[in-house]
Structure 1
């Protein structure tokens, strides 16, 4: 009898824990990882009052129309420049190249950048930085734009790369003004609604 009671208790605890996790699952592995990271107080950019009420980030529905193949044209002899941020901080970046792609029949172009700090960091040396705004910015999505990470290792020999706008994220400034975030250059505005990826965050 004791074994049965113990089994039932364990089952109930497991069930409760799994229900708690399900609330943060999300539609994709990417969304699951983002929600888990934001829930973790040691990693989350959220303010304490927002973290207490956090149940998960709000995402647009996953849409394969926003997974595209882009053609990369590398920028030769690109100068290092100071990128404007939300504070006085001026991190050093370099234009890595331009990306040409099509979404829903519309030809689009974005400039992709490489952080000069990242090139000296073994963990991030293969990361490229792709900030953009679109016609949802300031409404359904964060007004300052969204970011996408692209890896140099994902660029093919033909200089093509897959861009998955479902996996875009907000700068930390969207959640907490104590962070310093790069501002999206004006030329990286897309004249289309990118209804994919993370939405604007409602602060409490």
Structure 2
């Protein structure tokens, strides 16, 4: 898993894990959203269990037995229309601290879930796009009707890769919490109001309070 915009002021902090996930995902099959979700859950629990990569506070790490997830539901893995926005100007995205994250609106995704149509903005970090490792990565932050109750109140994130064509697969089963959901010391991009979904995305990682209960 790639955790965006939180740890130690860096964006994608666990490069080796992400590379391995790509390899494992390819082995499972790119068209198998269920297996991809299983792999995602395995990888994120491994990351959180490892003291070297975990965002958890020491007291929470000592009692950590795994994150809480919604049941995997492949109807939340969608093929979205991807509209690029090449003329957008960079801007500073606010975070949970005084730090500002320099982003650019890279495109807009349009899709349906259970017959309802939605649109979300997708962003690219200016610093990351200059690196070979993460030049193709996109950032999709979103909030939905599960926030504050079943999921973290500040919304969740998805990591995407720039598609070759005009469509992109979005697997919401791989939605994860920003690191500030686990420790307020982290600096995490705040979900833009434009990326608020008037729908309950009942897949992905739940709020950490559900993992501790």
Partner of 1:14: none
Report the CA distance between 1:77 and its aligned residue.
Answer: 1.0
Gaps of 5+ in 2: 1-36
TM-score after normalising by structure 1: 0.84
1:41-52 pair list within 5 angstroms = 41-52=51-62
Of 153, 162, 179, which aligns to 1:143? 153
Of 141, 163, 166, which aligns to 1:131? 141
Partner of 2:184: 177
Report the CA distance between 1:181 and its aligned residue.
Answer: 0.2
| Count of residue pairs the alignment pairs up | 175
Partner of 1:193: 200
Partner of 1:68: 78
Report the CA distance between 1:156 and its aligned residue.
Answer: 3.9
3-state SS of the aligned residue for 2:141?
A: strand
CA distance in 2, matches of 1:117, 1:176: 24
Runs of 4+ in 1 over 6 A off after TM superposition: none
Deviations 1:27-48 (A, max 9, x none): 7111011001100000000000
Report the CA distance between 1:86 and its aligned residue.
Answer: 0.4
Deviations 1:44-67 (A, max 9, x none): 000000000100000000001100
CA distance in 2, matches of 1:35, 1:50: 13
Partner of 1:164: 171
Of 96, 99, 116, which aligns to 2:126? 116
3-state SS of the aligned residue for 1:101?
A: strand
3-state SS of the aligned residue for 2:97?
A: coil
RMSD of equivalent CA atoms: 1.2
Deviations 1:70-115 (A, max 9, x none): 0011113110000000011011100001000000000001000000
CA distance in 1, matches of 2:118, 2:101: 27
TM-score after normalising by structure 2: 0.80
Partner of 2:17: none
CA distance in 1, matches of 2:40, 2:188: 22
Report the CA distance between 1:123 and its aligned residue.
Answer: 1.4
CA distance in 2, matches of 1:142, 1:121: 30
1:67-86 pair list within 5 angstroms = 67-86=77-96
CA distance in 2, matches of 1:76, 1:116: 14
Higher alpha-carbon Rg: 1
